[in-house]
């Protein structure tokens, strides 16, 4: 996620990347107490089930950051933690209300969806082009190009007159 945010600096130079970086690092910190990792599996702890990682993350920020951070920075990072799921129906108590919060929410979503898609395509067996239907990606079936046979071998891809698009010809 940090690499994604660094790639956005040249497009959005006015963004406070110190705050965004803090949000990227802190947004899921509550999962340390929400989940009990055992090898490659994890189960929800009692506190994780009853409170959840977002309020726990805010408690951690409050404990370790409230007295050392500038008041506005503290509230801004708290807002990133609270809003990182992007909407109330997805579990955030508040919606993103700063550019940095909107960026964090979308970087988190992109990271999650891309990782899910990569795992799905990695699980496609040789001889198959598509994954099964993936409930986490709106029921889509992902295509693994290297397993596909080309259906356009005998056709040339050429630039159109504008040079912007490719057409079959």
Please say if the pLDDT value at position 155 is more than 70: no
Which pLDDT tens digit goes with each residue over 31-86? 999 999 888 899 999 999 999 999 999 999 999 999 999 999 999 999 999 999 99
Lowest mean pLDDT among 33-42, 128-137, 151-160: 151-160
User: Which stretches of the chain are assigned E, i.e. beta strand?
Assistant: 35-38, 41-44, 130-134, 140-143, 157-159, 166-168
CB atoms within 10 A of CB 19: 21
- Residue 147 pLDDT level (bands cut at 50, 70, 90): low
DSSP letter for 136, please. Answer: G
So where are the chain's domains? 2-123
Which pLDDT tens digit goes with each residue over 85-107? 999 999 999 999 999 999 999 99
pTM score over 0.85: no
């Amino acid at each position: 996620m940090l690499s994604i945010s660094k790639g956005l600096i040249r497009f959005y130079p006015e963004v406070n990347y110190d705050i965004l970086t803090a949000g990227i690092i802190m947004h899921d910190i509550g999962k340390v107490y929400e989940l009990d990792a055992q090898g490659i599996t994890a189960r929800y702890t009692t506190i994780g089930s009853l409170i959840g990682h977002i309020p726990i993350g805010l408690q951690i920020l409050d404990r370790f950051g409230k007295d050392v951070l500038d008041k506005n920075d503290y509230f801004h990072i708290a807002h990133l933690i609270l809003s990182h799921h992007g909407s109330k129906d997805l579990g955030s108590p508040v919606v993103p209300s700063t550019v940095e919060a909107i960026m964090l929410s979308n970087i988190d979503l992109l990271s999650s969806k891309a990782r899910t898609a990569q795992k799905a395509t990695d699980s496609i067996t040789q001889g198959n082009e598509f994954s099964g239907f993936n409930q986490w990606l709106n029921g889509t079936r992902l295509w693994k190009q290297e397993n596909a046979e080309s259906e356009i071998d005998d056709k040339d891809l050429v630039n159109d007159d504008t040079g912007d698009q490719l057409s079959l010809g």
